[in-house]
Every structure is written in C-alpha cells, then in structure tokens.
Structure 1
Amino acid sequence: MPDTTSRPAQPVRGPGADSVATTAGEADVDDRLAAVAPVAATPGPNLRPGSRGRGGWLVPVAAVASAVAVLLLGLRAGDALAVAIPGLPDPGPVTTWALPVVRLLADGLATLTVGMVVTAAFLLPGDGRSVSAYGWLLLRRAGAAAAGWAAAAVTLIVLTVSDLLGVPVDELGVPTVVSFASSISQGRALLLQAGLALAVAVLARVGVSRGLAAATALIALVGVLPPAFTGHAAGAGNHQIAVSSLALHVLAAALWVGGLVALLMVRRSRQLADAADRYGRLALGCFVAVAVSGTANAAVRLGDVSQLWQSRYGWLVLGKLVALAVLGTLGAVHRSRTLPALRAGRRGAFARLAAGEVVVFAATVGLAVALSRSPTPVAQDPLDADPITELLGFPMPAAPTPERLVGQPLPDMFFLTLTVLGIGGYLAGVWRLHRAGHRWPLARTASWSAGLLLLAAVTNLGVARYAYVLFSAHMVQHMVLSMLVPILLVGGAPVTLALRALRRPTDPQVRGAREWLLLALHSRPARLLTHPLVALGIYAGSLFGLYLSDLLGTLMRSHLGHLAMLTHFVVAGYLLFWVLIGVDPGRPRLAHPLLVIIHLASMMAHGFFGLVLMQTTSLIAPDWYVAVHPDWASSLMEDQRLGAGIAWAFGEIPAAVVLVVLVRQWIRADRREQARLDRAAARAEATGEPDDLARYNSFLAAAGRADPTTPDGSAAPGDGRVRRAGPD
C-alpha cells in the first residue's frame, strides 16, 4: 500500500460551506475534518478524509477477494458442500452457496462495525464531550456497516430455515420463517442480532457524544455474541467449554480485526500514533484470548489431537493456526518497528504492513466461516446420544463424595477468564503502586484473590456438575456466589486500587481507563443501582423472583441463561455488600445506623425466603429437575427441602461477619470524627478563634437567653452547652 502521509489538496463538501480546500499533510486533513464534523451532532454529507488516490481501493478489494477465495476453498476442503442432512431433501444450490457467503458478509460487517465504534469511542481523542472529527467519520461509516449487518442477519434467518428444512428459499412460507425466528434458538439468536445491529446503526448516525459512542460500542460487542450460543458450540458434548470459548473467541477477534481496519481508515489523523499505541495493547490481549479460546474450542470439537491431520476439519484448524502465527508475527513487527516509526512521524511502513495484515485477517475470517459449516470429527447431536448428556453437556455424575465435588472439574472459559484477568489485573495494580513507592494492604489483596478463586472453584470444580442435577447443590452454589464471593470482592476495594494505579493520559482530550471508570461511577445508572433500597430490592427480589416462578427451569436449560444467572448472583450480592461495607468511592454512604437497619432487613428477607422454600409443597423447576434427576439421589422434594434448609441457614455466618465489619467501621468513623473535632479545637485554641463546637454552644446559649423556659413553663436545665468528650 502506498505511503499516505501526503496527498494533493481536495475539496470536501460539508454543511455550511461549499468546499474546504486543503494542502498536503495530515494536519490539514484534521483541520478539514474539524471544519465539517459537527460540534453538536451536525452531519456533513460526503465527508471523506481526503482522496483515496491511486490504489486506494486495493486493500478493500484484496481483502474481499481473499476472504471469498479462502471461504470457497475451505468449504470444498472441509466437505461442507458434500454433506447433506439425512432424511431431508436438498435445499438447492442457492441456499448451499448463499448461506456461507451471507454468513461471511454478516461477520465482516459486524467486525467492521465493532472496530469503528470502539475506535471512535475509546482509541481516538475526543473534542470535549464529543468524539473527534475522525471519530465522527467512523461513526457515520459504522452506521452504514451496521445497517448492512442487520440486513445480512435477517437474510440468514431465511437461508438457515431453508438449510435446516431442506426446502428451497422460493418454496418457504412466511409463517415458517416467522415461527423459526420466534421459537427456535438459532432463529431467535439471529433475530436478536439483527435488532442489536439496527440499534447500532441508528445510534451511530444520530449521536456524537463520547458517552453515546461508548454505549453504542457496548451494544455492538453484545451484538456479535448471539450466534455463538447456537450452532456447533451449543451442540458440542462439553458445551460449557465450547460455548464460552467461542463467545470469547468471537469478541476478541472482532476487536482485534475491526480495530486495525478502523486505524487504516483514519491513517491520516495526527493522533494516529497515540491511537495505534492504545490499540497495540488491546491487540496483544486479543491475540492471547483468540489463541487460548480457539485452542479450547478446537479441542472440544476434534476430540483427539490426531484428528488434526486425520480429518478434513483438522486440516482447516491447522490452517487457522498457521494464520494465527502469521498474524502474531506481524503484530510483533508492528510493536518493534512500525509503531516506533509512527511515533517519529513516518507512517508509511505502518500503513503498508497493516494493509497486508488486514488481507490476512480477511482470509482467516473466510476460513472461520468455512469451519463453522464443516462437519466435526466429534459428532454434534449424534442420533444415539444420551438424553441426559444432551441436556447437561456431560454424562450424569456418580453420587457425590468430597473427592468428586473437587476432583471432577467442569471448566467454564467465562469464569476462568474472569478469574485470571481479575487477579492478574489486581496484582499488576499493586505492583505499579509498589514501584511508585506506595503500599497497598496485603489483606485487601488476599480478600480479592480469595473471592475470585472461590468464584472459579464453585463454577469450575465438581460442585458445578452437581449444581445442574441437585437443587441442594445449586443452592450451595447460589449462596456462595451471592454472599461469600461478593463479601470477599468488596473487601478488596478494587475501584480504589484502580483509581490509584491507572495512569492519567497526557492528552486531556483522551479518556483512559481511569477516566471512563470515574464517569461510570458517577453516572446516573450507577447512582441508581447503588442506592441502598435499590440494591436491597435487587438482592431480595431476585431470590423470590427466581425460585417462585418458572424462571429457574428456563435458565437452567440454556448455557447463556445459566451464565447470566450465576453472574447475576455475584453482581446482586456485590451491590448490596458494597452499599453496606464497601470503601470504594461512589455514592455518598448513609449513616451507619441506617446501614445496620438495611443489613438487618436483608437478613430478614433472606431468612423469610428460606422459610418459604421449606414450607412450599410444590416442586421448583419441575420440568428440569425431573428430566435430570439422578437414580442415586433422594426424592425431589427431599432434595428441595435440603436446599431450602441450606438457604435458610447458610447466610447466618456471612451476615454476622458483615454486621461485625459494619459495627467496626461505625466505631472507626466515630473515632475519626472525634479526632477531627479535637484537632479543630486545638487549632482554634492556638489561633484564638472559635471552633465548630464553640460556635454551636454559642448558638445554644443565645437560644437559651431568648427562651429561658421549656414549653411546659419550667426552667431549662443547665446552660444548654455541649461538653467536649473526654479522651477515648
């Protein structure tokens, strides 16, 4: 790709001006964009960051060509075009060829959308509360890409129905398509993705504030996830690993690929070097996430390492591994050569290498789509599959013993990744403070680490297996996640550590992680969620809403629903205990007597919930627990009563610990206040000026002189003055 550091002057059409002339150089391009980009959401038609010049279309054309070529080769090599569903007619050549091509189009547009909105919101500097001129340009293009993404997702619904039923597209009826989109998991996932993409398209076109851009980026990231929870991954034997690893894989790949493409789009910006530095740190994390999650997902689908060279699917996996190695090498070259050159003002090498990297990325995406259409060595949904294994994702475990509760791990990539990132990031913050000469309490580090390790234990060890089939084991998991884990995490004071350890950006227009954290802490949603009554309502309401309705059974049948439920347990508990005993900054805390009352109310709600469960005579989530009830277990009602007893009794010790901590904080706060008053009195005595207590006594004395009697006519006792407390 040619060096784009200078271009001939070109007119740019924008609102309020017929044209704006520029001179060569990126500084004029920035000024030109600033002239047409809105300060307050005024769109500029036909805005372009300069002429594409010769070869300007080379990278997009090469990327599309490589993606399509590798897709077709991968479909042929993986036998994706030769496999037919037994017992069903052929859907015809239109569906056979159009389905993977439209899937490639949807994935490509989703990746572009994510990269552009993330770059506009987080990588490029802003202009006050608004995104920068180049950020606005990216949002405009992201809106168009998201609209195409939504259209592709809707098209995929029709093509997927045709593929599953073996009926040509022109013979499908509208009721059939509507039924698929509303009642089948794959259809609902695609419909949800289309809705999220449409929301991104609208938000990206109507707003320019950095906060709205950040919200749009989060919606776009969520939008790439729904298909990951259906298809190959959902049907894999161990779908706990398959689904979570695929979701992580898709997220990391979208950020990695899309971010690089977005940087190429703004390669003439004066802030390119800083944005590329921030992207480099993100890309390194994405590379690791893609490698780890891809390896875990491939292991589930291959079944045996020998299938790498003995199966066609394995050949495609090897191709992805080679592509990953090439991309990792290109990233290392960026970090060692092109980024230093970019900081020195020489951007040609960066642009050329990034262009080649985008072409490799495009080919890899095409290969990934071919993999998703190819049969795996480990059969997905085999005809002779055990129905229990189909429901659970693993065979029915034997009767629980202490060894089996610990020794039968059920790895879940979501919670394992959360644990590794949480502990690693926390220790990195502690180390940064240590290098700066500041100390961080060891007890807080131990509390945070213990909380995350406990989270990983109850979601990845043998107890997680039994939580699927026994209500009592599920209740143990619930109580640990909603009480023990949040108490330990709150004790780690992670927000305080982050605010002290994160560096402030040198450019005031750049919002780093610290600035976004502060904005989140003081945002209206955060203030609402951390209101004591709201936090108490979420914690107590979720207990009754989950178990006294049909919601539990619905969530247990879906891996996504199960992940959401377990995550909610932790978040609801964290909100409540942060309100009660948290030391991190945020909403002003209530007085300690009120906090004690709120804590007692939570204890009463928890105890009442346990009593309600013990007295109920109907089964909770009967469809689920009847279907997975093990032969060696007691009756369903006996196990449910055991779970109710656990819910009633489990919370006593954690609640007592919280009460002790709360009272201790109360005593410390009183001592600090008394010490403050003593210091104020000492300063007042030294300067001869009255302190707050002296002024208050003067006020009481004046009031007593104005009204020397009490309301009943008797003399007021004493002089009304407040004496200072003696030494503690």
Structure 2
Amino acid sequence: MVPVAAAVSAGAALVFALRAGGALAAAIPGLPDPGPVTTWAMPLVRLLADALATLTVGMLVTAAFLLPGDGPSVSPHGWLLLRRAGALSAGWAVAALALIVLTVSDLLGVPPQRLGAATVNSFASSISQGRALLLQAGLALTVAALARVGVSRGLAATAAVLALIAVAPPAFTGHAAGAGNHQIAVSSLVVHVLAAVLWIGGLAALLMVRRSRHLADAASRYSRLALGCFAAVAVSGLTNAAVRLGTLDQLWQTRYGWLVGGKLVALVILGAVGVAHRSRALPALRAGRRGAFARLAAGELVVFATTLGLAVALSRSPTPVAGNPADADPLTELLGFPMPAAPTPGNLLGQPLPDLFFLTLTACGAAGYLAGVRRLRRAGHRWPIARTASWLAGLLLLAAFTGLGVARYAYALFSVHMAQHMVLSMLVPILLVGGAPITLALRALRRPADPQVRGAREWLLLTLHSRPTKLLTHPLVALGVYTGSLFGLYFSDLLGTLMRSHLGHLAMLVHFVVSGYLLLWVLIGVDPGRPRVPHPILVLIHLAAMMAHGFFGLVLMQTTTVIAPDWYTAVHPAWAPSLLVDQNLGAGIAWAFGEIPAAVVMILLVRQWIRADQREQARLDRAADRAEATAVTAPLRPR
C-alpha cells in the first residue's frame, strides 16, 4: 500500500509541478519539437531513475551498516535487501540508458524513433551529459553484479559506496553546471542529492525490515544519519536555491520560486516528522510497539515521494537567472564567474569563491575531531594540544586555498594554480598528518553494544588492514602515486580536460591532498596501520621524492610548449603576462616551493629516527637488567 501511495503522490506532484513551472509550455512554431513522447517520458523516466537509485542506495546502506550481520556475512534481512537492491540497480541502469536517448531527442528536437544509433553514440561518448549518464549506467550495472555475487558485509559496503558515487555524475551536468557561480551551485547540488538519497533510501529500507527484531537498534542508528542528512539537505538546498533564484523576491514572483517554496514546506514537514520519530516513535519501538514508527515512516515516505516529484520538475523548469543566452559572457559561462582584476594580495585573500564540497569537508572534519577530543577529555584522557592545532590549521589552509581568491585566480593563471597545487599536496598534508586523526578516532569511537554490529571504529580497522590499504601505503607505491601524478598531469592533455569540468577540477584538487597525505602518512605519520619501514629506508624515500620534485620543476622551467593550451588560451586575462611567462613563473614556484616543506619533513623524520633508537636502546637495557637480575637470583642447580 505504501509503495502505491508514494508512486501516485510522486507522479501527481511531478505532473502538477511540470505544468505550474512552465516545463510543458507549447512549442514555439518554427523551432524543433521532440514531440509528446519525449516531453512526457523524459521527466517520468528521470523520476523512475531517481526512485530506483534512492531505493538501491538505501537498501545497500541498511544491509551493510545499519543491520547487524551474521559474522562476516550480512543478516538474513540484509541478504534480502541485497537481492532487491541488485534487481533495482539493474532497472536503474536501464533507466539511465533510456535517458541518454531521451536527452538527445530533447536537445535536438527530434522524436526518439527518428534518432540514429550514431547520433546517440556520439552524444554518449563526447558530450558531458551523455558521458555522465553512461557512467551512471555502468556503475549501476556494477552495483547490480556486486549485490548478486556474494553476501559479505564488505561486499555490501563496497556496493553501497559505488551506488552513492553513481548518483552524483548527472548532478554535475544539469542546471547548476550551466550558468555563473556553478562552483557553488554544482557542489551544493551534489551534497543535496547525496544527503537526500541517503535520507529517503534508508527510511524506505527500514520499512522493508520492520518485522526484524533488530529494527529498534537499526532505526536508532538511522535516526542519527537522518539528522545529519536533514542538516545537509537544508543548507545545500537553500544555497542552491539562492544561486538559481538570484534574488529573494523571485521566490514568490516566479513559477520556479513557487516550486522551491513547495520543497521548503516539505522540508519543514519532514523536520517535524523527524522530531516526532525521536520523541515518540523510537521509544515506542524500543518498547516493542512498532505501529507508531510504521505509520510515521509511511507518511514521511509519501512526503518524500512528493518532494522527489517536485525536484524532477524543478530540473526541467526554466530558472529565473537563466537570462538571455545571446547576452551571456562566454568567459563567465566557461569559468563560472567574471574574470577578476589583476591579482593583488587583497584580491588573492579576498574575492572568495566558496565550494560547498570543501566547506562541508572542512566543517565536518573540524567538528568530528573536536568532538573526539572532547569525548577523550570527558573520559579522563589527555590529547596533545599540538595535534589539535595541527589538524585545525591543515583544515583552515585547505578551506582557504579552495575557497578564497586564490581558487578564483587558479582557474585563469597557471602560476596561481601551481601555488595552489603545492600548498594542497605538501603543506596541508603535513599539518593533517600531524593531527593523528586515525589514532584519535580509534580512541574516541565507541564500540556498538551488539557485537554483530560494525560501527565506525570497526569499519576503520577493517579499512586499515585491508589489502588495498596495504598496497597503497607501500612506500614505493605512495612515492609513485605522488611523483607520477606530477608528470602525468602536466605533461599530457589531462590538465586541460580536468579544468573544463567541475567534477574533473574537484577530483584533481582532492587528488592533490590525498596523494600528499598518503606519502607523508607513510613517512612521518604516527597513526596505527602504517607499514613498519626502517627509518633509513624512509629517509631514502623522502630523498627520492625531493629529487623527483626538483627534477619536475627543472623540466617544467625548460619547457617551451604551453601546457593545456586550449584551456589557458581561452581564459587568458588581458592584464596577465604571456602564457609562457606565467608558466615559467609557475615552474619556478614548483621548483622552489618544496624546499621548506621538505626540510620540515626531514627534521621530523630524523627526530622520529632518534626517538626510535632511544626507545630501542631503553628496551635493550631493560632486557639486560632483567637477565642480570635473573642470573643473580636464580638458585644453583646441582649437577
């Protein structure tokens, strides 16, 4: 009954919102028209794909993380969810492939039955929207296969992560990616979509296991997840709406604003239902009364379905800030913001270009770390202030170089981009590694009361001892990832490709931080899980990294060919020096920048080496003292 009510509610909301938002306006005479099949099928298939994706993610997350397992395997209810998720994920892949055809039809104004295979293949392989949908379909099929081949909790967790990743690609090519301020719009939309999928999917999955004796514990864990998702949905939704509406009065003066208002009302209702869950339904569920939870969850799911229909209609409706394409500035369309003035210290630190992904990452990283320190202190344990300061300083530096004016100029100037690269891959990782976050997490995270439940601490330990982690933390592999990315990024066409896509640019910045953290964690980290490598070998690895870094800077300085010419020629400012002059400046930054961080790492390495020798010597002295004491006090044995 609940699925039928949710489907009817979502469909009715979609049709109403499409008409109210102007997405079904009559075709203009003389312009290509894809016909009624595409006009109606495209939003309906989009709604179906979103629903299937949401249910897939919710079932996999519930099976892997919310329900207790049966040793290394998922529980019987988890097994059922895995099988259902596999079938739904296969349907999700089919819907994504159908969206490719319908999107081509919509863009070209040609009915789908008149499209040729070559046209569809070209769209799927060369246009960002097509590639995103094709990637989504491929990931969905992979999830479907993983959900069918085994029953281990690790496999279910892997499938859940892949399903979450598969949700994101279309968000990078929709409304948010097509106008100014797309850094804010795209990142906020991705956060919004991922949080909503977790929130809705988890609730739907719990309704499927309402007869399980573990429902009360699973619902309590879901409640904490839902609270975080509610906050993320609210903040990211308001941020994205502000970008799309432009001004506050557009909220009540435009049809698009009316639909946004409808989503805000739904969010308030869902927040009130969440409060009722925490205050009434969960206590009743722990007492064995499941009726209140089932009724509230069913009603909440219907509201969620209505909101999903509104969201799909919003993606098809014209936005108030779309403007006239003929008047659009091509440079603004490409960068996502107007070209700034010549850089000054004030402009580099001011003129912020916030990215909600990194803001969310840094805010959650700081809040989680401080919460762990607070829990340790409440338990009577001390945590070094220097580690806390190091971690917070690393996050602050990360937020500054991805959200202040530096990030804005890094799009247009190779030299500023290189400075951003060096800071993110060297200074930020040194500070983050110094915070010893894994040690703090292992000490602060609590073990679940049910031994069959894997909490965050158990998943962290499994990750630390997994084969991929052991491979990546091998000193030579970590060195290869760090140094290989330097040459692979700048001496190929990869840089220009990544700069043209917000997803690619975001992935590049994340790689800078992760590759630097990986190498420095192997070299100077103090967390458990690191490979035990003799300090002389670590010193040699560090020297090799310094030599590779210096060689990279030297080669770059001698290069007379412009790197990523298509990108930097298109965005080259009138006030900037020539491309080669700016590139040589960036090469000089790369060559000289590593000296101070490398010296700091070497000092820390030598210090750890000395302390390790002192500890080893103290251990040997204690062993010798024990042996001498044993020899003196041992009774003489007759021969």
Q: TM-score, normalised by structure 2?
A: 0.98
The alignment status of 1:643 with 2:586, answered yes or no, reads yes
Match of 1:632 in 2: 575
Q: CA deviation at 1:675?
A: 1.4
Q: CA deviation at 1:690?
A: 11
Distance in 2 of aligned mates of 1:64 and 1:546: 47
> Corresponding residue for 1:322?
265
- Whether the 8 Å contact between 1:236 and 1:381 is mirrored in structure 2 is no
Given the superposition, is the C-alpha separation of residues 61 and 484 from structure 1 closer, same or farther in structure 2, using an over 3 Å criterion?
same
Residue 588 of structure 1, CA deviation:
2.8
Which one has a larger percent helix, Structure 1 or Structure 2?
2
Determine if contact 1:236/1:300 at 8 Å carries over to the other structure.
no
C-alpha distance after superposition, 1:568-613 (max 9, x if no partner):
0001100110010000011332111111111111000000000000
Which residue, out of 295, 306, 323, partners 1:352? Answer: 295
- The answer to whether the 8 Å contact 1:260/1:354 transfers is yes
- Which residue pairs with 2:247 in the alignment? 304
Tell me: CA distance 1:172–1:645, structure 2 relative to 1, closer, same or farther (3 Å): same
RMSD over aligned CA atoms reads 1.3
| Map of 2:637 onto structure 1 | none
Q: Does 1:199 align with 2:139?
A: no
Task: Please tell me whether residue 444 in structure 1 is matched to residue 444 in structure 2.
Answer: no
Structure 1 contact 121–210 (Cα < 8 Å) conserved: yes
Unaligned runs of 5+ in 1: 1-57, 692-728
Other-structure match for 2:313:
370
Amino acid at match of 1:259: G
Please report how far the alpha carbon of residue 85 of structure 1 lies from its aligned counterpart in structure 2 after TM superposition.
7.6
1:27 corresponds in structure 2 to: none
Within the candidate set 559, 567, 574, 2:510 is matched to 567
Residues 646, 689 of structure 1: CA spacing in aligned structure 2 closer, same or farther, 3 A cutoff? Answer: farther
1:78 aligns with 2:51: no
1:44-90, Cα deviation, whole Å (9 max, x unpaired): xxxxxxxxxxxxxx111100000000001100110110165896311
The aligned counterpart of 1:466 is 409
The aligned residue for residue 235 of structure 2 is 292
Q: Structure 1 residue 139 and structure 2 residue 87: aligned? A: no
Residue matched to 1:13: none
What whole-Å deviation, never above 9, does each CA across 1:432-489 have from its counterpart, x for those lacking one?
0011000100000000000011000000000111100001000000000000000000
Q: Which has the higher mean CA deviation after the structures are superposed, 267-276 or 165-174? A: 165-174
Q: Does residue 170 of structure 2 align to residue 227 of structure 1?
A: yes
Cα gap change, 1:418 to 1:434, in 2 (>3 Å): same
- The one-letter code sitting in structure 1 at the alignment partner of 2:606 is V
The amino acid that maps onto 1:125 is P
Deviates more, 1:83-92 or 1:150-159: 83-92
CA distance in 1 between partners of 2:248 and 2:194 (Å): 26
Note the 1:111-260 alignment, pairs <5 A: 111-260=54-203
Give the Cα separation in 2 of the matches to 1:434 and 1:559: 41
For the Cα contact (< 8 Å) 1:232–1:372, is it kept in 2?
yes
Aligned equivalent of 2:471, options 517, 528, 539? 528
Closer, same or farther in 2 for the Cα pair 1:273/1:86, shift >3 Å?
Answer: farther
- Following superposition, the deviation at residue 383 of structure 1 comes to 2.1
The letter for the 1-side match of 2:384 is: P
User: Superposition pairs for residues 644-683 of structure 1, below 5 Å?
Assistant: 644-683=587-626
Aligned-partner SS, 1:126: coil
Aligned to 1:686: 629
The question of whether the paired residues in 1 share the 8 Å contact of 2:97 and 2:133 is answered with yes
Structure 2: gaps of 5 or more residues: 635-639
Answer whether contact 2:474 2:531 (CA < 8 A) is retained. Answer: no
Aligned residue pairs: how many?
Answer: 634
CA distance in 1, matches of 2:546, 2:323: 46
State the alpha-carbon separation in 1 of the partners of residues 332 and 28 from structure 2.
Answer: 22
One-letter amino acid of the structure 2 residue matched with residue 172 of structure 1: L
Between 1:167-176 and 1:238-247, the stretch displaced more is: 167-176
Distance change >3 Å, CA 184–CA 575, structure 1 → 2: same
CA contact (8 A) 2:234 2:267 kept: yes
What secondary structure sits across from 2:326 in the alignment? coil
Match of 1:718 in 2: none
* Aligned residues of 2:521 and 2:530 also touching (Cα < 8 A): no
* Cα 1:270–1:689 shift into 2, 3 Å: farther
Q: State the Cα distance separating 1:683 from its structure 2 match.
A: 2.3
Please tell me the residue identity of whatever aligns with 1:266: V
Q: 1:469 to 1:381 in 2, by over 3 A?
A: farther
User: Aligned AA for 2:167?
Assistant: V
In the alignment, which residue of structure 2 is the partner of 1:103?
46
The 1:689/1:296 distance shift into structure 2, 3 A limit, reads farther
Please give the secondary structure, in 1, of the residue aligned with 2:34. coil
Structure 2: which amino acid aligns with 1:123? L
Q: Is the 8 A contact 1:197 1:220 kept in 2?
A: yes
Kept in 2, the 8 Å contact 1:236–1:380? The answer is no
* Equivalence for 1:583: 526
Further displaced range: 79-88 or 543-552: 79-88
Structure 1 position 686, deviation (Å): 2.7
The 1-side partners of 2:408 and 2:471 are apart by 36
Q: Residue 489 of structure 2 aligns to a residue in which SS?
A: helix
Q: Give 1:175 deviation, angstroms.
A: 1.2
| Bigger-Rg structure (1/2) | 1
- Is 1:541 the counterpart of 2:484? The answer is yes
CA distance in 2, matches of 1:259, 1:76: 31
The answer to whether residue 360 in structure 2 is matched with residue 417 in structure 1 is yes
For 1:690 and 1:537, the matched residues in 2 are separated by: 55
The alpha carbon displacement at 1:656 in A equals: 0.2
Q: Deviations over 1:134-190 (max 9, x none)?
A: 000000111111111111111111111111111111211111111111111111111
Instruction: Give TM-score scaled by structure 1 length.
Output: 0.86
CA distance in 2: counterparts of 1:379 and 1:84, whole angstroms = 19
Distance 1:126 1:89, change over 3 A: same
Q: Say whether 1:391 aligns with 2:307.
A: no
- Residue pair 2:473, 2:530 contacting (<8 A) in 1 also: yes
CA deviation profile, 1:637-684 (whole Å, cap 9, x unmatched): 111000000000000000000000110111111111111122222222
Q: C-alpha separation between the residues in 2 aligned to 1:130 and 1:387?
A: 54
Counterpart of 1:297, as a letter, is N
Distance between the aligned counterparts of 1:631 and 1:451, measured in 2?
A: 34
